[in-house]
Amino acid sequence: MVQWVYERAVASGIADRILIATPDQEISDRCRAFGAEAVLTRSDHPSGTDRIAEVALTHPADVYVNVQGDEPLIDPASIASCADPLLHPAPCSLLPDLASVWAVCKPEELDNPAVVKVVTGLDGYAMYFSRHPIPYPRNARALPVKKHVGIYAYRREALLSYSRWRPTPLEQSESLEQLRFLEHGCRMIMSEGAGSELAVDTPEQAEEVRAILAAWGV
């Protein structure tokens, strides 16, 4: 599964270097076996962002993109869309601190707390993330509900600051690590992308992914 994610990252065409961050020696060895570069990290990180921050301490770069290992069907174009606002910022505007991606939330996903939603301002910056379907439809929705696709691009300064901040109240309430950035005033630009067809949290879902990839001829 990690190899599938790695191949998606390669296909995005945006990275100068692709690293697989893992606390597990067996995973690291398997990654090297298929030609990927792996970095061993601590095992006590509470989030993927904290793990990437550890990697950033020893692997300097201007921008880091975090593609999570449970997303073997992530669209390479979504990875590129995530990184683009940091790699090619709009002229004469405040630089975003980090970036992520949204897709249209399907009706059957609206009330699923495992599907995170995001609301954005007119400028495209994230205002809030929630496990509830936001905004609340007191009146007819003028726009579709936006589902958060869990990939991130960070500027180095924002990433290292995150690792020094304590967990914040909204982050703890929703159990959403990205809220720590917003609570500290960071600017997160959101780009439209394609939602992943299936993330893998169980062995059964891994079998579903194998069937999907087989149907695609992968």
Rg from Cα positions in the chain: 17
Distance between CA 47 and CA 37 in Å, rounded?
21
Classify burial at 185, counting beta carbons within 10 Å of its beta carbon; exposed 0-12, middle 13-18, buried 19 or more: exposed
Tell me the C-alpha distance between 185 and 117, whole Å: 19
Q: Distance between CA atoms of 85 and 89, rounded to whole angstroms?
A: 5
Contact 121, 15 (CB under 8 A): no
Rounded Cα gap, residues 71 and 209, in angstroms: 10
Of residues 175, 216, 202, 178, the one with CA closest to residue 70: 202
* Bond before 135 cis per omega within 30 degrees: yes
Q: Are 64 and 154 in contact (CB under 8 A)?
A: yes
Q: Is the dihedral of CA 123, 106, 103, 201 positive or negative?
A: positive
Q: Which residues of 155-170 are buried (b: 16+ CB within 10 A; e: fewer)?
A: beebbebbbeeeeeeb
Indicate the average pLDDT of the chain: 90
Residue 199 pLDDT: 64
Note the pLDDT tens digit of each residue in 3-49: 989 999 999 999 999 999 999 999 999 999 999 999 999 999 988 89
Query: 31-52: string of b/e by CB count within 10 Å (b at 16+)?
Result: beeeebebeebeeebebbbbbb
Measuring CA to CA, which residue among 69, 63, 68, 46 is closest to residue 171? 46
The CATH classification number of 2-216 equals 3.90.550.10
* Percent residues over pLDDT 70 in the chain: 94
Alpha helix stretches (DSSP H) within the chain: 2-12, 25-33, 48-58, 76-87, 156-164, 169-174, 178-183, 203-216
Q: What's the mean pLDDT in 165-174?
A: 95
pLDDT tens per residue across span 99-143: 999 999 999 989 999 889 999 999 999 999 999 999 998 998 888
The 3-state DSSP class for residue 89 equals coil
pLDDT, residue 200, reads 66
- 50-106 pLDDT, tens digit per residue, is 999 999 999 999 999 999 888 888 889 999 999 999 998 877 677 899 999 999 999
